Structure 1
Amino acid sequence: MATTNTKTMSMKLLVDTKAQRVLLAEASKDVVDFLFSLLALPLGAAVKLLRKDPSMFGSVGDIYASFETLDAAYVAPGASKDALLAPSPAVGAGASSILGLPEPAVFFFECQHECRGKDGNYLTDMPGVKCPGCGKEMQAKSRFVTTPAQQRKFFKPRPWLCDDRMVTDVSGVPCPCRYACGQKMEDQCQYVPHPQPQAVVPGVGFVQGIVRYTVTDSLAVAPMSSSVALLSTFAALDLSAIQEKTVQLGHAEGLEILRASLQSRTVLTDVFLGKEEPRDTA
C-alpha cells in the first residue's frame, strides 16, 4: 500500500513528565476528522493495514489470508477480491489522507424515465430518492468521474450516444466510458439534495473548524470550549511536571493510533511517548 503523499498534521500534547503519560491533547478539526473517520474504516481495510501483527485481529486474520490465497477458480463470477481485501473507507475524510487508503467511489443516481427539469436531468447521491419530475424512485446508478464541486452542477454524455453511465462536475470533460465514445459530457443534470442528514459531506469532514478540540489519552473528543471541567481532574498534579509537547501525526502515527485504539486505553501515551514500564493505575 502506498504511503507517499499522505497528509501530516500536528497536535499539542499536555504531558505529565513524572508519570510519563499524556493528560490531554489540543487538536485541530483535521485531527478530529481523522479520529472519527476510523469508525468508517472497513474491517478488511483495517486487517490489511495491521496484518503484520498476527495477534491483532484473532481469527479474522485467518479469514483474510484464506480469501487472499483462494484460487480464482473458486471465486464467484463477478465477485471482486479487492472489494474485501482492499476496500475503500465508507467515507473519505481523514482516514484516506493519513493512512494512504484509496478515496471511496462516489456514485449518483438518475431517474430511469429520463425526466427533465428546467436545469436538465434530475440527479441525486442516494438511491431511492423520489424524482421531482415523475415521483418515482431514482435508481439508475452513475459513476462519478471527478471530485464533486461546491456548486453541485453535474454533466453526463448524451444517453442515446453512450449507455455506460458517467457523471462529472466539469462541462465538456471527455467521456471515459468502456466504449471509448469520446463525446463531451455536456448534458446538464439537476442535483436533488439528500433528504436526510449525512455523517459527512465530501470534502468537508465530520466536525466544524470554528473551535479547537481536546482529545484524552483514550481518544475521547470534546470541543475545547466545553472541556474546562475536564482540567479540574488534574488539579492535584504537580504543575512543574506538566509540559507541552507538539507532535506530528502522519502515516506511521496514524497506523499506530489505529492499532492502539483497538487494544489500549492510553493511546496517545503509547504512540507519542513510547511504551514505558507498567504504571500503577489504581
Structure 2
Amino acid sequence: MGESAGKITLKLLVDKNAKRVIFGEAGKEFVDFLFHFLSLPVGTVVKLLSKDKMVGSIGKIYESIEALHANYMEPNVNKEHVLNPTVSSSSLANSPSLLGYKSNYDDQSNDSQVFYRCSSCRNTSCYGYLSTDPQAVCPYCRCTMNWEITYVPGPGKEEAKVEKGTGYVKGLVTYMVMDNLQVRPMSTISSITLLSSFKVKDLSALETLEVCIGRKEAVEMLKASLVTEKVLSYLFLGNQKA
C-alpha cells in the first residue's frame, strides 16, 4: 500500500471463482481518503458525481439553486458558496487533491489567513463581526464587509502542528478494508476468520491484485459507496451484480 504519481495503490485479495474481493490491504493514505467521505458536504458530493448521475432527488435540488436567479436569494447569501461549499476539517490529508476539489483547509494552511470586517468607519458596533468573504454583508449596518484585516497566529503554532499530524488514522499500521469499505486493523487471525466466513475452500482460487486509485477511481468509489455494499468488487472486478 502506498502512493505513486499522485495515486494511491491498494492491494486486494480476490476470490477468482466467486469473482469477489475478500478484503483489501491498506495503509494510512487510503483509510484517510475513505474516512474523509463523511466530512463532505452534500453539495460537494453532488458536484463531484454530477447532478444528472445522482440517485434520488438531491441532484434536482442542486439544479434548482443553480437555475434560481440571484435576486431570489437572501442578500447575504452567495449562491456559489451553496453550490460549491468548502470543507473545514483540520484533519484533511490527501483526500481533497485525490477527489479533485479544493477545501478551505488548503487556504488556511498558510501562516496567516485573511479576514474582513465591515467597511463602515462610523459604527464601532460593526467591528464585532468578521468574515472570510469580502462580499459578505454586515448584520448590523448592512454595509459590505470588505475591509481587509489579517489574522496573526500566536507563538507555538508550528510546534502544535507538527505534534498533531494530519489525517484521521495513525501511520505505520496496516488496515483491512472490506468489500463494503468497513475498516479494521489488519491481523492474521482476522484474515483467517474472514476466509472461513466467506467459505473459501479452494485456496488456489485466491490471488492478489494491486490497483491504483486516482481522481477517476476516487469519484467512482464515492458514487459506488452510495449504492452498493460490494464497492471494491464492483469497481475493480467489474462485478455488476454487486
**1:212 pairs with 2:174:** yes
**Higher RCO (CA-CA < 8 Å; seq separation 6+):** 2
The number of aligned residues is: 196
Which residue of 1 is the match for residue 218 of structure 2?
254
TM-score (norm 1): 0.62
The AA in structure 2 aligned to 1:265 is E
Q: What are the superposed Cα offsets for residues 96-125 of structure 1, whole Å, 9 maximum, x if unpaired?
A: 1211111224669xxxxxxxxxxxxxx9xx
The structure carrying a bigger helix percent of its residues is 2
Distance 1:32 1:73 in 2: 43
When residues 94 and 41 of structure 1 are mapped into structure 2, their CA distance, relative to the original with a 3 A threshold, is farther
1:164 aligned residue (134, 144, 148) = 148
Matches within 5 A, 1:1-282: 7-51=6-50, 53-54=52-53, 56-91=54-89, 92-105=92-105, 164-167=148-151, 189-190=154-155, 204-225=166-187, 228-235=189-196, 236-237=199-200, 238-276=202-240, 278=241
When residues 17 and 35 of structure 1 are mapped into structure 2, their CA distance, relative to the original with a 3 A threshold, is same
TM-score (norm 2): 0.72
Partner-residue secondary structure (3-state), 2:104: coil
Partner-residue secondary structure (3-state), 1:165: strand
Q: Is the 8 A contact 1:41 1:90 kept in 2?
A: no
When residues 192 and 27 of structure 1 are mapped into structure 2, their CA distance, relative to the original with a 3 A threshold, is closer
Q: Is the 8 A contact 1:37 1:94 kept in 2?
A: no
When residues 224 and 252 of structure 1 are mapped into structure 2, their CA distance, relative to the original with a 3 A threshold, is same
Q: Any gaps of 5 or more consecutive residues in structure 2?
A: 113-127, 133-146, 159-163
The AA in structure 1 aligned to 2:56 is G
The AA in structure 2 aligned to 1:229 is S
The AA in structure 1 aligned to 2:206 is I
Partner-residue secondary structure (3-state), 2:148: coil
Distance 1:249 1:229 in 2: 25
User: How far did residue 189 of structure 1 move?
Assistant: 3.0
Distance 1:219 1:249 in 2: 14
Distance 1:142 1:75 in 2: 19
When residues 216 and 31 of structure 1 are mapped into structure 2, their CA distance, relative to the original with a 3 A threshold, is same
When residues 39 and 94 of structure 1 are mapped into structure 2, their CA distance, relative to the original with a 3 A threshold, is farther
Q: What are the superposed Cα offsets for residues 36-87 of structure 1, whole Å, 9 maximum, x if unpaired?
A: 0000010000011112544x33111111000011112212212111222111
Which residue of 1 is the match for residue 137 of structure 2?
none
User: How far did residue 89 of structure 1 move?
Assistant: 2.5
The RMSD of aligned alpha carbons is 2.8
The AA in structure 2 aligned to 1:14 is L
